[in-house]
Amino acid sequence: TPTAIIVGVGKGAHEGILVKDAATLEELHKVDTVVFDKTGTITLGKPTLVDIKNLSTLKDDEFISILATLEKKSEHPIASAILNYSKEKNIKLLEVSNFENIQGKGIKGLISNVEYYAGNVKLVTDTNLLFDVAVIEQYTLQGKTPVILSTKEKVLGFVMVSDEIKAESKKAIADLHRLGIRSVMLTGDDAQAAKYMASLVGIDDVIAHVLPQNKLEKIRELQLQGRIVAMAGDGVNDAPALAQANVGIAMSTGTDVAIESAGITLLNGDISKLVKAIKLSKMTMRGIKQNLFWAFIYNIVGIPLAAGVFYPAFGLLLNPIFAGFAMAMSSVSVVLNSLRIKTKKL
């Protein structure tokens, strides 16, 4: 077992798959469901601002200035899209105070003595503001994610952010299907946008509008259904779910806490390496079983022969020199069988 595991871990490192411990590599071959976070895992995690819908009396630059001022305090990838846009257009940012992160919904802060909110549809509906959600559906059906700016009294407008899908995502999902593994997308983003993204890469199920603290619960629900779950993510809010999953898989391009919580890290955030990791696990487990088989056969035949069990009936004895040679060869054969893993293509 140790020889196969050591060779398997080494082979994984060569392929850009960093395995934290042997137990993770052993567990991975049993996985039947892979849950993906959307941003930074299926997509590049570098969203861009693509549409502006200003519903207020503010000029567009003023509208973006307020939104970008709020977002400069946020750590969400979508915030970088809005800030990058404001830099490109040379839009001046303002001062914000009383900033607060509203988990899973958005942010709020005080700018020029006015309290502004920026976030998703759930933030607007929870504050009971009059807003026709159907207005943004034409955008979300194209896979774009809305960020709505409002005050306590009314919605001022919204921007749409789009994130490009990783080139390798579609093939990775197709390869998982060939292995008989189900795929699930877990995201806090808009349901329509998430379903559109999932349809582009062929993901089986979508669970949207999930608050960060509820991601762990969704993983647990799948496990209670009898599924062996691997979770792939890259963000701070993915860490509890990565730890809860049977196997946690982090992107090396993600946060340190996600990498620390996961049992496997994929270099360069390459999702196609996930399929290779599963194949490596299956290959390593096959090697372990083969090693155990040959070790048992050697002992089952060799020990009775060396003990003279066959001498009365067949006159068979084992010279101590040959017994020592056979013992050495049993170890050599196991090591050579394990080394075969290095030569195989993932």
The catalytic residue positions are 37
In DSSP terms, 48 is beta-bridged to 162
- Computed on alpha carbons and rounded to an integer, the radius of gyration of the chain in Å comes to 28
Q: Where are the alpha helices (DSSP H) in the chain?
A: 2-14, 22-28, 60-71, 77-88, 121-126, 134-140, 169-178, 191-201, 215-224, 239-244, 256-261, 272-307, 311-314, 320-343
CA 94/CA 92 separation, integer angstroms: 7
CA 266/CA 254 separation, integer angstroms: 10
Pairing status of strand 205-207 against strand 182-186: parallel
Position of tokens 């034409």?
A: 138
SS3 label, residue 68? helix
Q: Which of 211, 175, 191 is nearest to 34 (CA)?
A: 175
